[in-house]
Each structure stands twice: as C-alpha cells, then as structure tokens.
Structure 1
Amino acid sequence: MSADMVIVRREGLYCVPGQFYIDPWRPVERAVITHAHGDHARGGHQHYLAAAAGVNVLKSRLGPVNITGLAYGERVVHNGVTVSLHPAGHVLGSAQVRMEYRGEVWVASGDYKVEPDRTCTPFEPVRCDTFITESTFGLPIYRWQPQQEIFDDINAWWAANAAQGRSSVLLGYSFGKAQRILSGLDAGIGPIICHGAVQNLNQVYRDEGVWLPPSVMVGEVAKSEAGRAIVLAPPSAAGSPWIKRFGDFSDGFASGWMQLRGARRRRGVDRGFVLSDHADWPGLLSAIAATGAQRVIVTHGSIAVLVRWLQQQGLQASGFDTEYGDDEAEDAPAERAAAAPAAHAAPPLVAADMPPPATPPAAPHMAPAARTAPPTTAPPADEGEEDRHA
C-alpha cells in the first residue's frame, strides 16, 4: 500500500509529494485555498493558489497577498503532483482540490453544498480514490428544504413587516450567505439595506458577473423609507449601536443551525430561517457516492457519526483532526452544544439513509498543457476577518 498523499501536520493538511498545504491554519510557503472563509483562508502564507473566481474575494479579506488564480479544470504540476480545482458550490470561488500522483487521485472538498444557487458555480462531483470531506451538518436530522421555499418565507416575513412599517433585520454571514439571500429577495417589497461588511462583498460578487438586486448602505435610505426595508447584516452586528438605529424592527437569523429545536430562542430573534451553504445529510452522502471513492476522510463537523455510517457501508473511513471551524453561526457555542448529544445518541444508521449511488460523472475536462506554480516571494499578510464564524 502506498503512503498517504495527504496527511495532517501542525500547520494543516499537507500534500506530501507535492510539498504544499491545503487551507493551512499556520503560515506556510505554499497554500492551496478552497475558499475565502476565515477558517480556511488565513494570512501569513508566502504564496496562495485559489480558483480564479475567488481571487478578488481573498484579496478583499486578506489584503495584498501573492496569489495565483486557476480556472476550474485547469491543471498545474508541482513536484510531480497534478493539481486542478473544481467547483464546490459553497460560495463564490469555492473549490475542491484534485491531486493526482502516480495514478492515484485524492480530492479535498473544502466546504461544499450540492444544491445549486445563483451566486456561485454548482458543485461538480470529481471521481477519486480518496475523498477528504467536510461534515459540518453530518447528522441525519439535517435535511434542507429547497432554497426557493426559504426565500419565499423570507419575502413573506419582510412584506408583513413592511405593511406594519417595521424594518426587517436578517442576520447571516457576510460572505456567501448574505449574497445568496440577496439573490432571492423581492426588491419590489422595499429598499434592501446592507451592512458595510456585506455591501463590500456584494460589489466583489457584482464585479465577478454575479447578478444581485440593488442594495444600498443605511445612509442612502430616507428615514421614512426604512420601515419598508430589509436589512442584511452579519451576526456580529446584533445589539450594536448600528442596528439600534432601525428602531422597533423584527429580526431573523439565517443558518443551518436553525434546524435545531430552540436555536431561534437561544439567538433571541423573532424568526429563524434554515438556510445553509453546507451540504445536509443526504447531500453529504450523495456527494461522497458520486466520487466513487473507496476511502473517505472526514475533516470537521460530525466526524464520528459520518465515519461510522460510511464504515457500515463497507468504505474505508476515518477522520482528520483539523482546526477548521463553522461559518454558519458566529462562534455558535449554543448550537454546537445542542447538536453534540445528538452525535452520541444518533439512531442506528441504515442503508435507507443513503441515496442510490450517482451515475459516475464524466471525467472533468482538463487543459492539455501543464505548468508549474510561480515562485513564492510575497510577504505575510494579516487575516483581516471582520466577522469570522458569523
């Protein structure tokens, strides 16, 4: 049996033959970044490689870093390892990392979801021998409604509040979640006000060609119009002087954690909307099945439950101890605590929980030429994360 292509070091996930890291949590020479959330994209690396669609997001959050953008499906060869990036469907520019060395293929998923949305390239199954997957919502209780139903609920809540002259304040992570919500809003109901952390990223999305309805900063809306507005803000804005200017508003929180009983009460909000940029339980299982991998390594989330289920299906499964966190809620201590007992008391996992294996997808298109990664010369950069884990 050959040595593992990817291992865990104190700096992060390390591709041994390629001599580079994937989403490292300590400064390294070469880092391949799956997406720009703060637990995966950190400052201080000498050189970054990321999907071209996510380069401007990374720059907006990390500052002037030395970064190379790679088109989805394009190949580079580094120390004999062929590397390509493939859509993860998580947020703008999110990517899975495909590594091929001496006929063996590993894929590191980063964070992903399988339901397509209007703001990023949909998840692409990539055939591999070993699949390194997240498991943020890796419990059978997590099963998402179609996103359009959630958008309809948000718009109905907003319209009802607007009819009473109350602003609707909706809290959600400023990168990815906020833009996804924005894409589903009915701008005919009233003004769409965005917190500065959200509005700055809206512009990055628009610059990348993603259509979003018009949105404004709070100072651009007449006070008489604010009562018909919906306000998109990060969770860190809750209780702040900035948010109190909206007076007697109704507030909501958008997160996959809202699936848990009591999550809305713990957050102290009027409404909870179950909307996640991560795969739910069926999504995780279908994504894993579509890879055709016989070995699966789980990096973060409900590791033990997913590993046990996969082992029951005859797969070789284990976990990696990583420092990846949760971008679904601002540090989400209460939600994690509520979910933890379920992990230990989960019901027996049976074959009925698993969707039929997906038809193996066609091999992804690869560019005919390969090139080596550029040298690493840039100085370290600070992380610059305003609302990490929001």
Structure 2
Amino acid sequence: MARLGSWIEPFPEGIYVKPADAWVDPSQPKAKALVTHGHADHARGGHGAVWATPETLAIMGVRYGEQQERPVVYGETIRVGEVEVSFVPAGHVLGSAQIVLEYKGERVVVTGDYKRRPDPTCEPFVVTPCDVLITEATFGLPVFVHPDTGSEIDRLLHRLHAEPERCVLVGAYALGKAQRVITELRGRGHEAPIYYHGALERLCRLYEELGVPLGELRPATGATKDELKGRIVIAPPGALNDRWSRRLPDPVTAMASGWMRIRQRARQRNVELPLVISDHCDWEELTRTIREVAPREVWITHGREDALMHWCALHQIKARELNLVGYEDEDD
C-alpha cells in the first residue's frame, strides 16, 4: 500500500505535487506555482503560470510585475494535471489561502501561514478536514500565548494620549500587519490621520482598491515635527532605528509582532512599547486547529517543529518535519 500523501514530495525549495507537476510556494522559479499568499517568503517572482487568489495575484503584481496569472476565487475547484485544487481562506493577510489538493481519494491541505484571530482586513480561517495537514509552526511553543488584539491597540492609544508631545512610531510588516494595525485603530475609534513611511504607500493603496478602507492616511515624509506630535506613524520594522526616524518628534518606538512576547527581542530592537499582535497562530490555536481538522498525519513546514511534533506524538497523531528553507519572517 502506498504511503499516505506519497504523491506529494517536499524539497528544501518547496512542496512538489507530482500528479499536478506543480509546486506550492516554491522559493525558486518554477514552471507552475500554487501560491498561498503574497508575503515574499512564499510568493516569489519569476515563475511560469501562477495559481493564487485574485488578491494575492494583485499583491504579486505590485511587487514583481506582470506574470501568467491563474486566479482562483475562494471555494472554486480547478484541475491542475490530475489533481483537483481549491483555495480556502487562511486568515493570515488579504487574499491568503490554504491550498486543498485532492487526488485518488486523498485530501491534503497546505495551510501556508495562517491565524485564527479575527482580522478586519481578510477572510477568516476555514477549518478544512483532510488526511494530511501541512502546517506552519512559527509560534509552535507553549510559551507563545497571543493576547487580545483590542487590548494591545488600547495600550497603543493610551500611550499616545499620555504623551501628546511625542508621536508613536509603530513598526509593522508592510504587507498585512500595517494595514491590520490601521484598521484595528479605526475600530477602536481612532479617526485622526495616520502617517506612514513611503515603503507602505503602494500596498496601503492596493488594500483600499481591493475594498479594505483605511481612513485618512498621510505620508510622514515632508510632515513637520509639530504636525506629527500626538500622531501615530506606521513604518516597516527596519525603519525604526534608521536615519528616517530622526525626523519624528521624540517617538515612542513600538513594534507589532508576535515576537514581542519575548522581551529580549524587544530590547534588541530598542522597542519601548512592544505590541504582541501576530498574523500567525499561537500555541493553543495551532493545536486546536489540528484537533478540529482531525488529519491522519501532520507535516510541519517550518517554525518550532520539535514541540509540535512532541504534541502530536502525545495525541497519537503521526507527524513529520519537512525542513523547508526560506520561510518565516522575523518581524511578523
């Protein structure tokens, strides 16, 4: 009897689906690519045909230019080679999808990156039962317990109002996290203009074009220090401590990331206000997802594999590490 999922072969550069002659999230250019979402560690340029959601293809277009697009909307089933393929929401960022692969009576779900928390910028994660769940484990340790997002946004606003002569400079990943922080702020009643680093402009504009309202945004470049007092400024994490930030009025340096749970990481980045806001599952959400999906096997692409492997063994679920290369962003 063939091994479960024997038609799928992991390589360091991605997951090869043999009867489709296609790759999932390959890190090197391939003739056929199935892409879960637009982050650069999963969506690369230079492929031949690219199957992804329309939103992910739009994001890739902004980043990489024209490509051979094969849009697949949520819930649609297509055929690639001998494999039936569908995309269901992953809840990670706008357009993110789990890729469902069905072949000869077996169903394999590749989650890509995902989260279970509500996010006003994207469709929520959909539990999809399967035989093999191929999952990430970015925060796959019991120490990772993400707090309520609203409480973290309230901490940000409290600090903003407590020191009106300063601004709050929030480091947030340019795709997904920045737009999520903005919409969460709007949801907590913050209607004032939010200023942004120039690196965020194209993606913020794209989000609005795709139907995600962000409210009034203004470029921080060119604004005076007086204009920026008492304001929130969003920037890529790499800009927090560079020369660009010196133009700001004594900024409270904040960063929105699941890694802010680790105090040493916050200190290393000179972060004064760590905000534990993640676009990945925490430990409880990872293990709950596995229980709800109820797969026969769990394959782990990247992250803290050992702890999740041990948890699966304790719950009598067969698991394996795939050791894929090039995934995971330190700032997400």
With normalisation by structure 2, the TM-score equals: 0.95
1:185 paired residue number: 185
1:9 paired residue number: 11
Aligned equivalents of 2:322, 2:86: Cα separation in 1: 22
1:47 paired residue number: 49
Over 3 Å counting, the alpha-carbon distance change for 1:117 and 1:328 in structure 2 is farther
2:275 paired residue number: 273
What's the offset of the Cα at 1:189? 6.8
Matched length: 328
Q: Which has the higher contact order (CA 8 A, sep 6+)?
A: 1
Amino acid in structure 2 at the alignment position of 1:171: G
Structure 1 segment 37-76 matched on structure 2, within 5 A: 37-76=39-78
Structure 1's unaligned 5+ residue stretches are 330-389
Once superposed, which parts of structure 1, at least 4 consecutive aligned residues long, lie more than 6 Å away? none
Amino acid in structure 2 at the alignment position of 1:226: L
Three-state SS of the structure 1 residue aligned to 2:263 is: coil
Give a deviation string over 1:27-83, Cα, whole Å, max 9, x none: 110000001111111111111110122221111112212222110010111222100
What's the offset of the Cα at 1:5? 2.5
Aligned equivalents of 1:300, 1:11: Cα separation in 2: 12
Over 3 Å counting, the alpha-carbon distance change for 1:10 and 1:325 in structure 2 is closer
* 2:176 corresponds to 1:176: yes
Check conservation: 1:96, 1:110, Cα contact below 8 A. yes
* 2:202 corresponds to 1:206: no
Aligned equivalents of 1:213, 1:328: Cα separation in 2: 28
Aligned equivalents of 2:178, 2:22: Cα separation in 1: 32
Three-state SS of the structure 1 residue aligned to 2:2 is: coil
1:114 paired residue among 113, 116, 131: 116
Aligned equivalents of 2:117, 2:326: Cα separation in 1: 22
From the two aligned structures, give the one with the greater strand fraction.
2
Structure 2's unaligned 5+ residue stretches are none
1:79 paired residue among 68, 81, 97: 81
Amino acid in structure 2 at the alignment position of 1:81: V
Amino acid in structure 2 at the alignment position of 1:166: R
2:311 paired residue number: 309
* 2:167 corresponds to 1:167: yes
Three-state SS of the structure 2 residue aligned to 1:185 is: helix
Three-state SS of the structure 2 residue aligned to 1:305 is: helix
2:152 paired residue number: 150
Q: CA RMSD, aligned part only?
A: 1.6
Check conservation: 1:127, 1:293, Cα contact below 8 A. yes
Amino acid in structure 2 at the alignment position of 1:180: R
1:296 paired residue among 271, 295, 298: 298
What's the offset of the Cα at 1:269? 1.7
Check conservation: 2:169, 2:240, Cα contact below 8 A. no
Check conservation: 1:189, 1:228, Cα contact below 8 A. no
What's the offset of the Cα at 1:320? 0.2
Query: Which shifted more, 242-251 or 124-133?
Result: 242-251
| Identity in percent | 37
With normalisation by structure 1, the TM-score equals: 0.81
Aligned equivalents of 1:264, 1:10: Cα separation in 2: 31
Check conservation: 2:240, 2:253, Cα contact below 8 A. no
What's the offset of the Cα at 1:221? 4.0
Amino acid in structure 2 at the alignment position of 1:167: C
